[in-house]
Each structure stands twice: as C-alpha cells, then as structure tokens.
Amino acid sequence: MAKKVQHLVDIIVPSYNRKPLLRRAVSSIYNQSYQNWRLFIVDDGSTDGTSEEFYGDKSRLLKLEKNKGVSYARNYGIKHSQAKWLAFLDSDDEWLSHKLEKQIEYSDKNPNYSLIHCNELWIKDGKVLNQEKQHKKQGGRIFTPSVDLCCISPSAVLIKRTVFNEIGFFKEDFPVCEDYDFWLRFCSRYEVGFLDAALVVKYGGHLDQLSKKYFAMDYWRVKALLPFLKDENLSVIEREKVKQTLIKKTGILLKGYKKHNNFKNYAEIEEIYKSLKLF
C-alpha cells in the first residue's frame, strides 16, 4: 500500500495581548495527531510579554512593533509562510486533536476544493451553546447564506495559499468583519469543502472580543457587500440577494445612528440607501 503524502501545513496565529489564551491555542496545535506543520505566531504589538514566551521548536515568532490589527497580522503571517496548505487559529480558540488530520484526509479524497472548513463547538462563560439553524455550517456553493452572516470561521479553515494570489488578502482597512469580506470574495468564485465534524472550540464572553469593541458592525458588512452588486461571478438571484440585504442593513444602520445619536457614517450610509432604492 502506498504511503500517504504528509502535506506540510503552515499555521498562522495572530495575537494581541492574549498571552494566557494564546497558550491554550498553541497547546492545541502541539497536541494535533497530524504533526507535519509549522507554526507562525504573529505578535501584533502586544505589551503583555507575549513575545517573551517560549512556544517550541516548530514555531516561529513574528513580532510587530505596533498594533496593526488582525487583518495585517494574519496577512503578515501568510506572506512569511511557504507551504501549499495554510490554516488559521484565532488566539482565543482551540483545535481538537484530530482537526488537521481529518481535513488533510478530506482534501486527499476531494482534491478539487481549495478551502475546507469544519463544524465548531461553541462555549460561552463555561457553558456549551446550541447553534441556531441560521448558523448551520455547510459546503458547496454557499455565497447566498454567506451574505446573511459569516458562515466560515478562520479557525475552522484549511486553505491553499494559491487562493490569496487569486482573490487577494484580508482587507487591512477593515477593523472588523474582515473574515466576512474574505469569505464573500471566495464564495463568489468557488465551492467550499465541508467536514461535518466539530473540530474547533470557539470561546465567547471575554471582554476583548472584537464584536464587543465596535459600534454598528453592519457598517463594515455593507462595505464588504457593495462590490457584489454587479459581480459577474454571481447569478441574477445572488445579486438580488446582495441588493435586498444591503437595503435591509443600511436601513437598520440609519435607524441605529439616530437612536444612539451617532452620526459618524450617517451621510455615507444614507447615500448608499437612496442609491439602492433607485438601482
């Protein structure tokens, strides 16, 4: 029997002032049953001693002098990696021990996919959360469900590095929703491989989650969706889905700005809303 090819996987973990959580994430990488990997930890300008930690002989620390944001840090790691396959792990998440092994096996059986993701276990404040129907993960042509919400988690992905040459990197001017934007770009062109097994543990409830730090995150989702109004990779039905979602999100934003007396982006969103009604 021919020996299975042990594909090298470069793993990228961006982190900012999360040393205790980062230890848990890194430990879950070293505990993988699949061991042909290299780890790139991108210290995004941390001030908590992250760069002083010893992580092991298979890891490399990439230290940024200033905090640049998760997109810049993730892109920085991608540009320093060399393997055919890349994987990401957010510093507040962890992998179950067979995560990489199962995804590599899936990729060998389904070589046409350049992105494979998996299911997740959600834990908040120490309790397991049941995922609602809208959060159900899936594979194939998933652009339409990806419009409604972020259907892919960076920590759940195994992705070919050639993808970044084809569609670009994570947008560094997006402080949040950079993953939502990237998956839209991917799903507008390609089908997604999916492994229906919970191989990632995602933790919620800690105070430094990006979703807790930014007001009106739908502003960034609107910015991500706009280019797809006329995207020729999409069907007529998919483009209509984009339009209707934009109308809904811009309308909600305008009401929210008024309610909270926050008019920073009001004029921009109002102009988009009016143009959509005429489009």
Inter-helix orientation angle 236-259/266-278, to 10°: 140
Q: What's the number of CA atoms in the CB half-sphere (13 Å) around residue 220? A: 20
- Please report the sign of the dihedral spanned by the C-alpha atoms of residue 254, residue 257, residue 263, residue 269: negative
DSSP 32-64: -S---EEEEEEEES-SSSGGGS---TTEEEEEE
**Span 207-222, pLDDT tens digits:** 555 544 556 899 999 9
Summarised one tens digit per residue, pLDDT across range 118-177 is 999 999 888 888 877 777 899 999 999 999 999 999 999 999 999 999 999 999 999 999
Tokens of 22: 């980062």
Give me the pLDDT at residue 77, please.
98
Amino acid symbol at 212: K
How far apart CA 162 and CA 241 sit, in angstroms, is: 29
Query: Residue 227 above 50 pLDDT?
Result: yes
Q: How confident is residue 197, by pLDDT bands cut at 50, 70 and 90?
A: very high
Residue 1's pLDDT band (boundaries 50, 70, 90)?
very low
Q: Say what the pLDDT of residue 55 is.
A: 77
How many angstroms separate the CA atoms of 72 and 86, rounded? Answer: 16
Per-residue pLDDT, 158: 98
For residue 97, pLDDT over 90 is answered with: yes
Over residues 22-79, the pLDDT tens digits come to 999 999 999 999 999 999 999 999 999 988 887 788 999 999 999 999 999 999 999 9
Residue 112 to residue 175: CA distance in whole angstroms: 32
